[in-house]
């Protein structure tokens, strides 16, 4: 964090681009809940990021409520952390423009998420998809956030945020104006893979329904998806090293470890030598046990959009109270007239 002396702050975000899944829960939201007691926290529903690929407007509204409700259902307390939607705080977009002029094309060209999401026909990708990580840097730095809890896939975007902060501080002779934000990635569940393909991460926008366990899935659906999950014919090894070269087995064991608060080695001590016919039902039972209280609360909250709207509005006001003065100062530093 260099010589930055400001308060310790957390910012993170999830896109309302689909249903909240087990990867989002283990890689991100579960950490949000733990961290709210240690830091000043801002948790955003990043609707402006979501529209970098086409979103049906009615679905976008519903999914924005869904992600906000998922934060709450998992245990984020809106009286402690600010929960809000990104588009409600104009400062994100203002800072993003200035950062578009700080970030270098060469830096953005290296971003692997753009390559993955744009696919083969990158000429047809939106310009927003390309500058997506610059908006992400603005999300973080408009709060001068010092720490960012995310899953493993966001490591490269966080490095870019640090580069943008450093270049801004340097170019404008504003030493330590922005902190260099630290990613908080470690921990079990930082990279949950698709249930259909152990080489692909579990993702909201996966076209296969069976690739993802959603927080809204009921127990029968969860059990069916785990039963159908890709595995291999071998029994589980008794030591973690034996998972090498078996990505699907490693993923299922990893999910069990992350949800039970243990390690792969401990899970294998119990299930080593057993086949998936035994392990999958045990895993399904554990997933249902851990997710069902959250999904029940999620359903209750989603039935009350008035409450969600009010919570998001209050969160946005708290967020803007921090972000607006930062943007005001940035504009002065850059040389804009008041």
User: Residue numbers of the site for ligand LTN (CB under 6 A)?
Assistant: 11-13, 15, 46, 49, 136, 139-140, 148, 150, 154, 157
Cβ atoms of 76 and 37 within 8 Å: the answer is: no
**Cβ-based nearer residue to ligand ATP, 240 or 258:** 258
Question: Among 103, 150, 287, 301, which residue sits at the site for ligand ATP (rule: CB under 6 A)?
Answer: 150
201 binds ligand ATP (CB under 6 A): yes
Torsion angle of C-alpha atoms 267, 269, 274, 275, degrees rounded to 10? 40
Question: Among 11, 14, 145, 294, which residue sits at the site for ligand ATP (rule: CB under 6 A)?
Answer: 14
**Cβ-based nearer residue to ligand ATP, 184 or 322:** 184
Which residues are bridge partners to 45 per DSSP?
A: 14, 85
181 binds ligand ATP (CB under 6 A): no
Q: What are phi and psi of 45, to 5 degrees?
A: -100, 110
20 binds ligand ATP (CB under 6 A): no
Q: Where are the beta strands (DSSP E) in 36-85?
A: 40-45, 82-85
Of 294, 276, 235, residue with least CA distance to 25:
294
28 binds ligand ATP (CB under 6 A): yes
Q: Give me the residue label for tokens 């934060």.
A: 71
Residue 10 Cα to chain centre, angstroms:
13
Catalytic residues: 117, 201, 204
**Cβ-based nearer residue to ligand ATP, 258 or 330:** 258
Torsion angle of C-alpha atoms 79, 137, 183, 20, degrees rounded to 10? 60
**Cβ-based nearer residue to ligand ATP, 112 or 205:** 205
Residue 198 Cα to chain centre, angstroms:
20
Closest separation in Å from C-beta 328 to ligand ATP: 29
126 binds ligand ATP (CB under 6 A): no
- Interacting residues with ligand ATP (CB under 6 A): 14-15, 17-18, 23-24, 26-28, 150-151, 153-154, 190-192, 201-205
């Amino acid at each position: 964090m260099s010589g930055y002396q400001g308060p310790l702050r957390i910012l993170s975000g999830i896109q309302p681009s689909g249903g909240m899944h087990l990867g989002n829960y283990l890689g991100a939201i579960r950490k949000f809940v733990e961290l709210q007691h240690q830091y000043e926290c801002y948790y955003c529903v990043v609707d402006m990021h979501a529209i970098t690929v086409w979103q049906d407007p009615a679905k976008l509204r519903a999914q924005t409520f869904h992600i906000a409700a998922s934060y709450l259902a998992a245990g984020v307390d809106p009286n402690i952390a600010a929960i809000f939607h990104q588009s409600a705080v104009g400062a994100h977009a203002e800072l993003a423009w200035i950062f578009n002029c700080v970030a270098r094309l060469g830096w953005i060209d290296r971003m692997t998420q753009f390559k993955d999401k744009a696919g083969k026909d990158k000429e047809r990708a939106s310009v927003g998809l390309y500058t997506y990580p610059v908006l992400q840097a603005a999300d973080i730095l408009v709060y001068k956030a010092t720490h960012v809890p995310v899953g493993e896939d966001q490591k490269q975007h966080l490095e870019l945020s640090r580069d943008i902060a450093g270049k801004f501080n340097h170019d404008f002779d504003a030493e330590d104006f922005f902190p260099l934000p630290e990613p908080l990635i470690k921990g079990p569940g930082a990279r949950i893979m698709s249930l259909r393909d152990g080489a692909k991460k579990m993702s909201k926008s996966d076209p296969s329904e069976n690739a993802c366990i959603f927080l809204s899935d009921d127990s029968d659906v969860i059990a069916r998806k785990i039963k159908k999950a890709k595995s291999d014919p071998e029994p589980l090894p008794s030591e973690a090293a034996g998972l090498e070269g078996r990505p699907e087995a490693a993923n299922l064991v990893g999910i069990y470890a992350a949800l039970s608060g243990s390690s792969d080695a401990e899970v294998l001590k119990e299930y080593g030598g057993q086949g998936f016919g035994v392990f999958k039902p045990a895993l399904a039972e554990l997933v249902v046990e851990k997710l069902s209280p959250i999904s029940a609360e999620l359903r209750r909250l989603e039935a009350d959009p008035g409450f969600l709207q009010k919570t998001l509005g209050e969160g946005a006001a708290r967020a803007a109270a921090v972000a607006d003065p930062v943007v005001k100062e940035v504009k002065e530093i850059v040389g804009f007239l008041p």
